[in-house]
Structure 1
Amino acid sequence: MSKRESFTNRLGFILACIGSAVGMGNIWMFPTRVSLYGGGSYLIPYFIFVVLIASTGVIGEMSFGRGTRSGPIDAFGAACESRDRRKVGETLGFIPVLGSLAMAIGYTVVMGWILKYMIGTFTGSTLAPNSIDSFAASFGGMASAFGNNLWQIIALVVAVIILMFGVGNGIEKANKIMMPVFFLLFLILAIYTACQPGAIDGYKYIFRVEPSALAKPETWIFALGQAFFSLSVAGNGTLIYGSYLPDNEDIPASAGRVALFDTIAAMLAALVIIPAMATTGAQLDQGGPGLMFIFLPSLFKSMPGGHIVAIIFFVAVFFAGLSSLLNLYEAPIATVQEKLHLNRKLSCLLIGVIGVIVSICIQGIVSDWMDILSIYICPLGAGLAGIMFFWVYGKNYVEEQVNLGRNKKFTDKYVPVCKYLYCPICILVLILGIALGGIG
């Protein structure tokens, strides 16, 4: 058996995990929810849930992957093997793997949009429309069935080429470039926005605390959903990255750094988008693709230096999206390597072909596609991983894996908190998502 790949150093692993967590949820959803649910009144529960999930589920999935040195299928199988139910575990392990592949395919469609708009900021086509209706029509044409084939294929080819170079030479090196550049570009945008007249109203809007908003259940529900999905607990990507870790890595410390920088990315997005809209008197009440591909380009066009602002924004967004795409495709690629015993390049090629074919076919329904995955599959995968690690493997194994590489033992309360709080939270996220049509 060939030696399993690994990250070459701690920084590379942390940047890769930050890249997997930083994505469209930080950029097109977080600022909207901050705006809709009372600014600081939303941030308070959001920070609470980030700390909770990072210190339970993120640590757990990283430790589960490292302990089993495998992807979800073999990890779940290994957990159930002691009870002579390995096949059951492996079958359940297919759920997060297929979920990761399906999410990657949907994300490929979005990356095609981002790439087209990024290139368009250089050619001028992105800011060419002259009214909000024209921007909407332009996006609608692109986001229709078979409306963006070429750019979508190019985006996927870029991701597959990086993945072919492997974990250390591909994923790690790419994230060592993309993540610092992403944060630098968004910091530049935040400084630029702060210098615009009227931006102060945006900051007041972000950091206001409304007791009435804090008392509303929906503020807490959507803060939970945002934190849960932003930290990428789904039983796949974080677990597979953990499987590439050496035994001397302090996983709780790494999970804390990932959560910190994921939160910084989300806050930077809010500090750019909300004050920028405040300079024109606009209120942020719509998130998702409409914000990024309709309202923000229209806003950039009206701002001084808007052409440069648009270039910086879409380059940064492309890097954030590409880093997440690498993580989503890695779980199915690693699974093909493990189960079909294909080499790295053939595994990437096989998954890439599936990604091209299916992503082209779902362009017209990608919103529904992603909703189904975020409502059902992601929390189910996270819950299954939590049950396998904390309940099936049990306390002794969990504590051994979590404390591996640490100088000081992690809290004794870790296992009971995960068993009786984190695992039920995964079920709660699933139930709330079904009841409310999605909370992520």
Structure 2
Amino acid sequence: MTNTRGQWGSRLGFILAAAGSAVGLGNLWKFPYKAGINGGGAFVIIYIAVLFLVGFSLMIAEIAIGRKTQLNALGAYRAINKNWGFAGAIGILAGFIILSFYAVIGGWVIKYLFDSVSGSLFKINAVDYGGHFGSFISSAGSPLFYQALFMVLTLVIVLGGVSSGIEKASKIMMPALFFMMIVLMIRSVTLPGAIEGVKFLFKPDFGKAFTPKVIVDAMGQVFFSLSLGMGCMITYGSYLPRNTNIPFSGTMILILDSFVALLAGLVILPAVFSFGFEPGAGPGLMFITIPAIFSKMAFGNIFAIIFFLLVLFAALTSSISLLEVCVSYVVDEFKKNRIISSVILSIIIFLLGIPSSLANGAWSDFKILGYNFFDFMDMFASNILLPLGGLLLCIFVGWVWKTKNAVHEIQNEGSLKFSIAPLWSFIIKFISPIIIIVIFLTNFGIIKL
């Protein structure tokens, strides 16, 4: 099949773009905290094991589907089996919804980056950072402005296309992200008392780690941190040339993703412990605790700029993949121009994100099933659509397309050796579906661990 949709200019470009899709805000605030409370180094061992068994299996399955068909997520499933387009549609819907509220958080990052550059962030008393953050996100106009700005940045990159836009941006942002994280890590681990944060992250507590709840937590973190089940890797895989070594590329993506997760822990937790803060997960860690830490640190304004810039890069490398999933679908299925499709979709996604932004203020009393609009969209995408998309991927590859055909594609039609094919096939057909079902049922309290 001749690819007229665009193609990655290099294997490195694809790996950096795909790793960028996987590396997002969740790596920066969820992984350090989850590791710390779930057995430290023992949790890290479990996480990496699950990452390279289950995460690797699902990732290369998605990439193989994309390269095989050279189509968007919906079209790719349908091209292999005409009755399975709905599985790809679920992934596209998940990406669409996630980007709508992800852009809200991306806007907060831009706001804090600007405040770090101007110095206004450090005119706040450390004890008032919580109130400052709450006041900002509950206002109407300012968060919407920064949300729109984040969507514009995402749009500009996607407008450039695959090789000239996404790949070039990833080749700049990902190395810069790694460099900034290393700089911040060195500063963090050399703070007085920082060793307690390092222990919190890495000191093994095998008694705590090897429990059903912690193992499921590790599985959930792996699944959601790799952009699986939302069509990103299928879409990115569809831009690959035929001779790409999928197992090697998948391995490199996982190595980069786990490297960022561990670096994030070494950036955040030593500093948190050094200054006596609680390592709470979520936006509070990034927008309340971290600014308070920088306000007490020598040259804190400089390190704050570096931190929020790297967070912005992490957010953008994920958001461009989410938008590309939607754009690829419209371009392929409706034969529309990429520029027009990208602009219209960005506007729609921004409009859908407005209620998520207002849910922290003017619309805070509006509830859906007990959730405000922001939390409902997060719950619906993360707890329903993504596990469902991942489960359907396993069923499709394992039982519909058949693993022997998937292996044939991964092996470049016999020109490449895939020595772990039997293990990979077993994981896709049996292990991964069970894990995803357990995660799904745990999310809704049906299984209590």
Give the TM-score of the pair, scaled to structure 1: 0.94
Q: Residue in 1 aligned with 2:110? A: 115
Q: Select 1:415's aligned residue among 403, 412, 425.
A: 425
Give deviations 1:129-177, integer Å, cap 9, x for gaps. Answer: 2033x21122112323635111110110111011011000000000000
Correspondence 1:326 to 2:320: yes
The residue type paired with residue 388 of structure 1 is F
Which of 375, 388, 410 lines up with 1:380 in the alignment? 388
Q: Which amino acid aligns with 1:411?
A: I
Paired with 2:282 and 2:448, the residues of 1 have a C-alpha distance of 13
Q: Distance in 1 between matches of 2:134 and 2:221?
A: 26
SS in 2 for 1:15: helix
1:199-246 CA-partner distances (Å, limit 9, x unpaired): 122222222111321233221111111111111111411111011111
CA–CA distance in structure 2, aligned partners of residues 277 and 69 of structure 1: 46
Name the structure 1 match of 2:255: 260
Asked if 1:137 corresponds to 2:125, the answer is no
Deviation per CA, 1:13-69: give whole Å up to 9, x if none.
Answer: 000011001011110111111221121121121111111123310110000111111
With 408-417 and 163-172 compared, the bigger mean Cα shift is at 408-417
| 2:231 counterpart residue number | 236
CA contact 1:139–1:294 (8 Å) conserved in 2:
yes
Q: Do structure 1's residue 350 and structure 2's residue 344 form an aligned pair?
A: yes
Please name the residue that 1:269 is paired with: 264
Instruction: Provide the residue aligned with 2:274 in structure 1.
Output: 279
What is the CA–CA distance in structure 1 between the aligned matches of 2:129 and 2:259, rounded to whole Å? Answer: 30
**1:223–1:409 distance in 2 versus 1, CA, 3 Å:** closer
- Residues 357-409 of structure 1, C-alpha deviation per residue, up to 9 Å, x if partnerless? 11122211323321221111111112212222221111331111111186323
Residues in 2 aligned to 1:240 and 1:438: alpha-carbon distance in whole angstroms: 35
Residues 214 and 356 of structure 1: CA distance in aligned 2, closer, same or farther (over 3 Å) = closer
Contact conserved, 1:403 with 1:410, CA < 8 A, in 2?
Answer: no
Decide whether the 8 Å contact of 1:109 with 1:366 is kept in 2.
Answer: no
Residue equivalent to 2:11 = 10
- The 1:202–1:92 alpha-carbon spacing in structure 2 relative to 1, beyond 3 Å, is closer
CA RMSD of aligned residues (A): 1.9
* Counterparts of 2:294 and 2:119, CA distance in 1: 12
Distance 2:151 2:145 in 1: 10
Kept in 2, the 8 Å contact 1:22–1:324? The answer is yes
Instruction: For residue 435 of structure 1, give the secondary structure of its aligned residue in structure 2.
Output: coil
Distance 1:331 1:415 in 2: 26
Residue 392 (structure 2) pairs with residue 398 (structure 1): no
2:4 match: secondary structure: coil
**Match of residue 432 from structure 1:** 442
Per-residue deviation, residues 74-97 of structure 1 (Å, max 9, x unmatched) = 1221232xxxxx2x3223321111
Residue aligning to 1:83: none
In structure 2, C-alpha distance between the alignment counterparts of 1:79 and 1:407, rounded to whole Å: 22
Within 2, Cα distance between the matches of 1:144 and 1:245?
Answer: 43
Task: State the percentage of identical aligned residues.
Answer: 33
Distance 1:231 1:278 in 2: 28
Distance 1:254 1:135, change over 3 A: same
Amino acid at match of 1:230: S
Match of 2:366 in 1: none
Shifted more, 246-255 versus 140-149: the winner is 140-149
Pick one of 164, 171, 179 that aligns with 1:176: 171
The CA distance in 1 between the partners of 2:330 and 2:164, in whole Å, is 19
Conservation of the 8 A alpha-carbon contact between 2:94 and 2:230: no
**Residue identity opposite 2:444 in structure 1:** I
Alignment correspondent of 1:227: 222
Name the CA distance, whole Å, in 1 between partners of 2:330 and 2:185. 42
Return structure 1 stretches of 4+ with deviation > 3 angstroms: 436-439
Q: Distance in 1 between matches of 2:219 and 2:320?
A: 25
Aligned equivalents of 2:418, 2:85: Cα separation in 1? 31
Q: Which moved further from structure 2: 150-159 or 274-283?
A: 274-283
Q: Distance in 2 between matches of 1:52 and 1:274?
A: 27
2:121 partner SS: coil
Q: In structure 2, what is the equivalent of residue 360 of structure 1?
A: 354
SS for the counterpart of 1:3 is coil
- Counterpart in the other structure of 2:154: 159
**Which residue of structure 2 lines up, in the alignment, with residue 314 of structure 1?**
308
Cα drift, residue 302 of structure 1: 1.1
TM-score, structure 2 normalization: 0.92
Does the 8 A contact of 2:69 with 2:238 survive in 1?
Answer: yes
Distance 1:419 1:28 in 2: 32
Deviation larger for 143-152 or 380-389: 143-152
Secondary structure of the residue that 1:362 maps to in structure 2?
helix
Identify the residue that residue 58 of structure 1 maps to in structure 2: 59
Tell me if the contact between 2:41 and 2:204 (Cα under 8 Å) persists in the aligned partners.
Answer: yes
Q: 1:79 to 1:425 in 2, by over 3 A?
A: farther
2:294 aligns with one of 296, 300, 310: 300
Other-structure match for 2:39: 38
Cα pair 2:110 2:312 within 8 Å, conserved: yes
Structure 1 residue 2: Cα displacement: 7.7
Kept after mapping to 2: 8 A contact 1:61/1:235: no
Q: Aligned equivalents of 2:302 and 2:431: distance in 1?
A: 46
Query: Number of aligned pairs?
Result: 431
* Deviates further, 39-48 or 1-10: 1-10
User: 1:324 and 1:75 mapped to 2: Cα distance?
Assistant: 21
C-alpha separation between the residues in 2 aligned to 1:34 and 1:436? Answer: 24
Counterpart check, 1:389 vs 2:397:
yes
Cα 1:235–1:438 change in 2 (3 A) is: farther
Equivalent pair of 2:87/2:393 in contact (CA under 8 Å): no
Q: Which amino acid aligns with 2:196?
A: D
Runs of 5+ unmatched residues, structure 2: 360-372
Q: Within 2, Cα distance between the matches of 1:408 and 1:216?
A: 37
Contiguous gaps of at least 5 residues in structure 1: 81-85
